[in-house]
Structure 1
């Protein structure tokens, strides 16, 4: 026997029910390499329980009720049991403290130690002593406020340290000293301030790839904080209170491709802020207080592909964007942008997604989007748009989805009909009175025009073969009648509820072979005959 899994789910039968173990329960299992004892409501492993399984490599004790580290079965062992162990998972227990006497120092081959989701508030400086092969340690989701000096000093092979979601307010000097193999450090969800994250905190971590400091209490970033993190690729500083970043703070990070600064207190993006970030691909700056973007701020970030500036205080499209020729997605939603001109998106020839929702944009005119030939998704919802000039989208041959809901449009004749790639169009909650299927492109599949003042689903040219709409929401309008030409033959889902429909013409739904649902409630129908419902 090499693998033994035993999960009794005793806790589901009652809080007092626990699997009974005896010191000789595993006698004879000399070849056992993997033992899973999760979810048994265990309080402890008896002394000597692991002695018969000298070749054990993985031990899973998750989702039990073990309260002290000494009850994990390694303290006071007088045998070689556990000497081959490489993975110990004691997560989701009730451990409160880890002392130097829990016996784990004998596990010279241990590589993975999982202690997350416990109640650990105390950690001895010798808790990890002897674990020279340790690669990954997970202490996340506990109640640690501080860490002892030298905690990782004996584990030079560490690759990942997970300390997220604790209550850490400080880090001892030299905590990560000489951990030159370290690749991942996660300190998110703690209470660390800028006074305790300084130029010595991450010194020497020359191979670090991922650093997560999100959801802490940092207020500024010193230019020396990341001075030796030459191979860092992902830096997460989201949800702090950062109001100031010194010039050239990111200069050493010439391999960084993802930087998250969202939900902070930045007011200005100055020219030297992103110096050195030559391969940066994704930059997230939403939910700050940004009102000033200096023109040269992105001059060294020419490889940027995703930029999120939403939920700030911008009143215009920053000219600095013209340096981002490789940009694919741009989010400027939830700002105070009132207008933009023919030069606003200059050089953004690779942009495919543009989000401008919830601004104060007025009318759309020809030329505004002329520099965006690759644009496929455009979100202009929740603005103040009253009119769109014909030809405004003539240069956007690849547009597939447009949101214009919650504006003040009253006429769309000639605006969208030529957009051959358009599949998805939302015009809901505008001021449309007149609608005709000649207004929409032939390949459109999804159309939402609910919440307008439309009185009829017009089809002046009696188009059917040319219409491919599958989902149509025309609810909450003023439609009075439905006939065969009011509904495309390709329709699958039709919502015409909350109108003024008093008449459904005979055969109105005939030839709609794919029709799956029609909502007609909240209208003014007084009678219906079966022939009116024929499909």
Structure 2
């Protein structure tokens, strides 16, 4: 059972507004989830808002002040959901705000802001078509990737001198830019990410605006020519990626002018006659095409490259193991490689993604990396990520064999993009695969698979209309949320008895389910997430299939009543969310039957009367309606209906590491 005392501590470090649930996370900071409509004298320093209201809101001071008082103390904000705009002067009023992240907002198409005191600003993965930003000195990272920005609708201005601007990373990847002539001068910029745009030409001297640039990514554009002088002034450039453009030749003298260059990627172009012997210095990695890859000046094949990777694995672990073991963080993700010349120096690269991780006891650390998909290696990496931007593909063992050999060694896999299907026997042929994540595949509508040795399976955020899964013993977590699944099209089978199945988490939220009758019994299930469906009724005895359930989320469905016996057998249930349904009676008798219950949320229903005295035991948190909210048995006042809810419980950390 979780203690509620942490929520009482007002000067909190991190809070997420959510409905329902208050929980304490075991980290090096005091972190908790606050009740969304409680009013505090002092806002938490970290605030996450996911707005699910049908009508889009403007995020401004009035909105924030409706959540908590003294908003000027907020240091980090993350928002998503139905926001159609950001108040133009918002950041000027939030004097302590350093980190602002706003993603996955389909309604956000236009933005006009000043960066004020911000250090980190992330507006990636929205539908932005027009952006006007005034830069102030303190901004260090700006991410506008994965939007719909075109040249004529991107405005950058500042009253500061270029040397005063502290911007280190500018990410404009995955937009519709055709040129970069209009960009401001950022003399301190280190990372410029422009991949996956429509850039055709870069004028000589244009990049002189960024004299301290270390990483420049121009991959997957439409560049057909590199003129002499295009990279003039980039004396510090270490990593240059111009792969997958339309180049048929490149003057070697252009590369020779980049004296600090350590990694160059030219593959995916039409360069047939590269004059390697005219290069004046050896690079760590030079990739010209499928047949020409050089490592420290020596041409290598796939087998030697695999050997190099194994060597760097050992060096990498030796270099940072002490730092890592002293870290209090549970996960550290780095995109880097240690140079063979100086193993203590780490550089960003596209060659591999290294993940160092510990389990909950801090005893395990694995080295994992993602190899470049279009090369042919003798040994696949243990963690493989694939984003297919080509025409529709079918994900099967033959497709994977085309990326790298010995795919049986893969432990973790993440796929996205243009895949229309997954082979039924795929996981059977990957005996070591434990973790599979397949998201954002709009053409994936039907899946029939067996879980085999998988422990974690995530097929959320697709367009799945039909799923057929045969469960094996090992699977612990299954996420099918945010699809188009209906009752008759979710088929779960197993040859194993329910007691042997290890499934702990089942997430079917944000689908189109109306009942639970057809779902498989999972006796070891701990967390069942069913919010944002269309469930109208749950027959008594159905939930007995999940006798070890600890958390049950049925919020935002269409439940009309709670029949007697509905929760029979749920003797371990601690957290129950029935908010935002169509209930008219709280039924204290049913609440009394749940002897382990600590958190109950029924707000957003049609319950007008509640007799608290009829309860047999006090709950940590009980929310019935605006007039009846109790904490540790004491009734508290609520001022207004919450403006947002979320099932998210964490702020995500950046998925890449920058060179400073």
TM range (shorter): 0.5 to 0.7
C-alpha distance in structure 1 between counterparts of 2:621 and 2:280, whole Å? 59
Map 1:305-454 → 2, pairs under 5 A: 305-322=504-521, 324-414=522-612, 417-420=615-618, 422-428=619-625, 444-445=631-632
Distance between the aligned counterparts of 2:574 and 2:390, measured in 1?
42
Q: Match for residue 242 of structure 1?
A: 444
Q: TM-score, normalised on structure 1? A: 0.54
Q: How many angstroms does 1:69 deviate by?
A: 11
| Alignment match, 2:431 | 230
Indicate how the Cα distance of structure 1 residues 260 and 413 shifts in structure 2: closer, same or farther if over 3 A, else same. Answer: same
Deviation at residue 296 of structure 1 after TM alignment: 4.9
> CA, structure 1 residues 105+233, in 2 after alignment: closer, same or farther (shift >3 Å)?
farther
Q: Within 5 Å, which residues of 2 pair with 1:80-479?
A: 125-127=291-293, 129-130=299-300, 132=305, 133-134=308-309, 160-161=369-370, 175-176=375-376, 178-180=378-380, 182-188=381-387, 190-191=389-390, 193-195=392-394, 197-203=395-401, 204-214=406-416, 216-240=417-441, 241-246=443-448, 249-250=449-450, 253-254=452-453, 256-270=454-468, 273-275=469-471, 277-291=472-486, 292=488, 296-297=492-493, 300=496, 302-322=501-521, 324-414=522-612, 417-420=615-618, 422-428=619-625, 444-445=631-632, 468=634, 472-475=637-640
What's the CA shift for 1:299? 5.5
> 1:406, CA displacement in angstroms?
1.3
Following the alignment from structure 1 to structure 2, what is the Cα–Cα distance between the partners of residues 285 and 349?
Answer: 22
Q: CA-atom RMSD, angstroms?
A: 4.9
Query: Which SS does the other structure have where 1:345 is aligned?
Result: helix
Superposed displacement of residue 161, structure 1: 2.3
CA displacement, residues 424-473 of structure 1 (integer Å, 9 cap, x when unaligned): 223336xx7xx6xxxx77xx24xxxxxxxxxxxxxxxxxxxxx545x531
Q: 1:417 & 1:349 partners in 2: Cα distance?
A: 23
Task: Name which one, 1 or 2, has greater alpha-carbon Rg.
Answer: 1
1:274: Cα distance to partner?
2.7
**For residues 549 and 615 of structure 2, what CA distance do their matches in structure 1 show?**
23
1:293–1:400 CA distance, 2 compared to 1 (3 A): farther
1:193-224 per-residue CA deviation (whole Å, 9 max, x = no partner) reads: 224x443122321211111113x122222235
TM-score calculated relative to the size of structure 2: 0.44
- Distance change >3 Å, CA 388–CA 293, structure 1 → 2: farther
Gaps of 5+ in 2: 1-139, 141-161, 167-183, 190-209, 215-229, 313-333, 337-349, 352-366, 642-660
Which structure has more helix as a fraction of its residues? 2
Preserved contact between residue 75 and residue 101 of structure 1 (Cα < 8 Å)? no
When residues 226 and 390 of structure 1 are mapped into structure 2, their CA distance, relative to the original with a 3 A threshold, is closer
Write the distance in 1 (CA, Å) between the matches of 2:576 and 2:280.
Answer: 57
Question: Quick one: distance in 2 between partners of 1:101 and 1:337?
Answer: 66
Say if 1:233 and 1:258, in contact at 8 Å, map to a contact too: yes
In 1, Cα distance between the equivalents of 2:609 and 2:543?
A: 26
Tell whether the 8 Å contact from 2:575 to 2:598 is kept in structure 1 after alignment: yes
Tell me the CA shift for residue 260 of structure 1.
Answer: 1.0
CA contact (8 A) 1:187 1:212 kept: yes
Contact 2:188/2:211 (<8 A) preserved: no
Q: Which structure has the higher relative contact order (CA within 8 Å, separation 6+)?
A: 2
Task: Return the offset for 1:395.
Answer: 3.0
Residue-by-residue CA offset, 1:311-369 (whole Å, 9 max, x unaligned): 222111144342x1111111111112111122111142221111111111111233211
8 A contact 1:287–1:311 mirrored in 2: yes
The alpha-carbon deviation at position 231 of structure 1 amounts to 0.8
C-alpha change, 1:357 and 1:194, in structure 2 (3 Å) is: same
Which stretches in structure 1 are left out of the alignment for 5+ residues?
1-6, 20-37, 50-58, 83-87, 116-121, 140-150, 153-157, 164-170, 446-466, 477-535
Q: Distance in 2 between matches of 1:95 and 1:12?
A: 34
